[in-house]
Amino acid sequence: MTQAVSIRVRGQVQGVGFRPFVWQLAREFGLRGRVWNDPEGVGIEASGARLEEFVAAISARAPKLARVDAVEVLKFFGELPQGFEIAESLGKGAETRVTPDAATCPDCAAEIRGAGRRKGYAFTNCTHCGPRFTILRGLPYDRAQTTMAAFPMCPDCRAEYGDPSDRRFHAQPVACPACGPRLWLEVAGREVHGDPVALAVERLRAGEVLAVKGIGGFHLACDAGSAAAVALLRDRKRRPSKPLALMGQEAALARVAVLSEADQALVRDPAAPIVLVPSRGVLPEGVAPGMGQLGVMLPYTPLHHLLLDAFGGVLVMTSGNLSGEPQVVDNDEARAKLSDFADAFLMHDRDIARRLDDSVERADPPMILRRARGRVPGTLPLPKGFGGAPQVLALGGQMKGAICLVKNGQALLGHHLGDLDDALCAEEFGKAVADYSALFDHRAERVAVDAHPGYRATMVGREMGLPVAEVFHHHAHLASCLAENGWPLDGGPVAGIVLDGTGLGPDGTIWGGELLLGDYLEVERRGWLRPAPLPGGDRAAREPWRNALVRLDQAGLSGWADELFADLPREVLRQAVAKGINAPMSSSTGRLFDGFAAMLGICGEAQSYEGEAAMRLEAIAAGEGSLRFAVDGGVIDPAPIWGEVRAELAQGVLAAELAWRFHAGLAEAFATLARGLVQEGEAKAVVLSGGCFQNALLHRLTLEALGDAPFMVHRVTPANDGGLALGQAMIAAARALRGAESD
């Protein structure tokens, strides 16, 4: 007897070609019935002899962009149609889910290299690939609400769009040369006649810098193999040493970098992030000065494929923006702002609705350093206990802006918005709040902000007229890691090692090297790096030697500081420190790294971008053993190691070895204290958070030093301030829930 079932599929199953996939499966297994979208996901009613195989295939063979969380099967007794049909979407909210932009799929990549009507067509896409969030103007997600609305489909494209057996069924950005966007090469405001890709490649080979319009913004491109081209780009962009991202086909990347299996899997991910991988050292030093690693990505649009196929090598593909400003997205804006940088523009006429930088990630240990294109708007389910959470809007930190929305048991962490000190980034921040709120029909009942009164996001939050939850910076870091790992609201206290550059602590000083004990609701400080002054305030973050000076003075090694920094204004700083003028106390780990780097002669006088000294230190580290920090009560004091460092340098011990031992010593000091809290039963697990844990070596050595203590780390949200808003949102939600309980 044939039976009938009703099937509920939950997860990321809308806007990813799931209904046509189910339709095709049903035909394959000879079933009758229907499939539809609704607010809970995808619903199916079906009957036939091969139902079991069908149900198994739903998760086993799901489309690449789908994520199936659950397939629930119940008996069904209603009427079914003769064939199998795709039914109308049911209920409001069915279309509100938007998936992230996805890299060109293998079928589309093959199609543009083939002989069909999309041969060489730079805007080819299908249900399994192409732009989504970056072309979306509003919901529901259909063509009229995207920047593809300007391109009416030709009959051929319309036929594909309407055919459930075609891989372009309901692919909103479907296009072809007859009806879709157009590509051209432009020099000094004039279109150059000829094949734009061939013209672009000719110029790249000649060492020129090109502005290339992508899906989330413009890139600046040049030949990564040419030291002169790289130097030209750096000179024009006034970017002396910050590493430049690279793009190449896999074979080309393999010639310049070492990609492990995990790296290969990550570069091939539909998100196509920039992946940090070990360099083979064959590219010019100027690509990533002082780094042992390169940031590489695969071509992720058909335009990139055409360009890289024709070019053959590896291109620098760095954000097209003025220093500190957001990436340029608009054609006229590009002409106005990038003309000084670029010799020519590879442009197209599809608008970018939403600016998204490339995401930056690492495969081992897995981490996200910048969360943007391909990763947003992804959601995280809230952990157990947060079910009744109100709608919260969290506004994040200052340097790596990102917001977070909580609604319906989900947390949505928005994309990287840049440094809010910059006026345009701040404007972008305001837009993002309005944009995400509108897209997800979010009505904030409370707002969560960093406790630092000077942060722009904090000021904006306080003006919103909503109840405000003020959250201390390092508590937010800890909570974001808990949330990512699904730690329940009543999961009990954990030991959080939170290491970063700067954040206001409850005692009014600047924190950044902390061992916290607590949960979503409360934390106490159980350990910290011995504070040192930050002479000159913000300047201490730009000039590593300042941090070396105060640490050496603290340790009674002023004489060594005088030798190391003989030409620098030491006495002025010492007097300022003695009088307490613009020299706030801080337990910052970032500044400790800076100071140590300066002692080894790395970026002593100045670093040209945030984290440069620490990244160079990590890059050279090699060896074994550790430098022993003094631990007294909860205070971790580096003072005793400086004398040892000085003596060993004098004996000819390499900076590389000392760098390794510094990382290991710091990791051991914090891990030992954290482990102690677990062993004494005060903490249930150890959490690692804060920007310093993007340092892969520190990350690894800390986990090693933790031994068998249970731990949680960031994998899908940034450990840096880009993940802060998630923690703020969770803390605000926890407070609201506790408040409701005690009422």
Taking CB atoms, the residue at the shortest distance from Fe ion is 500
303 binds Zn ion (CB under 5 A): no
Stretch that binds Fe ion, among 34-42, 496-504, 648-656, 730-738 (CB under 5 A): 496-504
Closest separation between CB of residue 197 and Zn ion, Å?
19
Closest separation between CB of residue 397 and Fe ion, Å?
6
157 binds Zn ion (CB under 5 A): yes
Q: Kindly report the backbone phi and psi dihedral angles of residue 412, in degrees, each rounded to the nearest multiple of 5, phi listed first.
A: -115, 110
User: Which amino acid belongs to residue 643?
Assistant: G
Whole-angstrom distance, CA of residue 288 vs CA of residue 294: 7
Q: Which is closer to Fe ion, CB of 503 or CB of 536?
A: 503
Give the CA distances from residue 52 to residues 2, 18, 19, 31, in Å, rounded to whole numbers and listed in that order: 11, 19, 18, 11
The one of Zn ion, Fe ion, none whose footprint includes residue 464, by CB under 5 to 8 A per kind, is: none
Residues 6+ apart with CB under 8 A from 275: 259, 263, 266, 267, 295, 296, 297, 361, 362, 363
Member of 105, 403, 417, 481 binding Zn ion (CB under 5 A):
105
Closest separation between CB of residue 151 and Zn ion, Å?
8
Stretch that binds Zn ion, among 119-127, 189-197, 529-537, 606-614 (CB under 5 A): 119-127
Q: Are 703 and 695 in contact (CB under 8 A)?
A: no
The one of Zn ion, Fe ion, none whose footprint includes residue 186, by CB under 5 to 8 A per kind, is: none
Whole-angstrom distance, CA of residue 139 vs CA of residue 494: 40
Q: How far apart are the first and last CA of the chain?
A: 57
The one of Fe ion, Zn ion, none whose footprint includes residue 257, by CB under 5 to 8 A per kind, is: none
CA 660, distance to chain mean position in Å, is 27
The one of Fe ion, Zn ion, none whose footprint includes residue 521, by CB under 5 to 8 A per kind, is: none
Q: Which of 619, 576, 585, 583 is CA-nearest to residue 600? A: 619
Q: Restricting to residues 75-134, which ones interact with Fe ion according to CB under 5 A?
A: none
Q: Which is closer to Zn ion, CB of 105 or CB of 185?
A: 105
419 binds Fe ion (CB under 5 A): no
Q: Which is closer to Zn ion, CB of 179 or CB of 466?
A: 179
108 binds Zn ion (CB under 5 A): yes
Q: Which is closer to Zn ion, CB of 179 or CB of 656?
A: 179
DSSP sequence for 484-538: HTT--TTS--EEEEEEEEEEE-TTSSEEEEEEEEE-SS-EEEEEEEPPEE-TTTT
Q: Which of 326, 393, 354, 329 is CA-nearest to residue 139? A: 354
Q: Are 346 and 285 in contact (CB under 8 A)?
A: no
Whole-angstrom distance, CA of residue 329 vs CA of residue 353: 8
The one of Zn ion, Fe ion, none whose footprint includes residue 178, by CB under 5 to 8 A per kind, is: Zn ion
The one of Fe ion, Zn ion, none whose footprint includes residue 157, by CB under 5 to 8 A per kind, is: Zn ion
Q: Which is closer to Fe ion, CB of 461 or CB of 727?
A: 727
Q: Which of 586, 587, 604 is CA-nearest to residue 595? A: 604
500 binds Fe ion (CB under 5 A): yes
Whole-angstrom distance, CA of residue 11 vs CA of residue 18: 11
721 binds Fe ion (CB under 5 A): yes
Q: Restricting to residues 168-187, which ones interact with Zn ion according to CB under 5 A?
A: 176, 178-179
The one of Fe ion, Zn ion, none whose footprint includes residue 179, by CB under 5 to 8 A per kind, is: Zn ion
610 binds Fe ion (CB under 5 A): no
Residues 6+ apart with CB under 8 A from 3: 47, 51, 75
Member of 154, 380, 468, 576 binding Zn ion (CB under 5 A):
154
Q: Which is closer to Zn ion, CB of 157 or CB of 403?
A: 157
CA dihedral in degrees (491, 497, 503, 506; nearest 10)?
60
Q: Which is closer to Zn ion, CB of 111 or CB of 428?
A: 111
The one of Zn ion, Fe ion, none whose footprint includes residue 42, by CB under 5 to 8 A per kind, is: none
The residues binding Zn ion (CB under 5 A) are 105, 108, 126, 128-129, 154, 157, 176, 178-179
Q: Residues interacting with Fe ion, by CB under 5 A?
A: 500, 503, 721
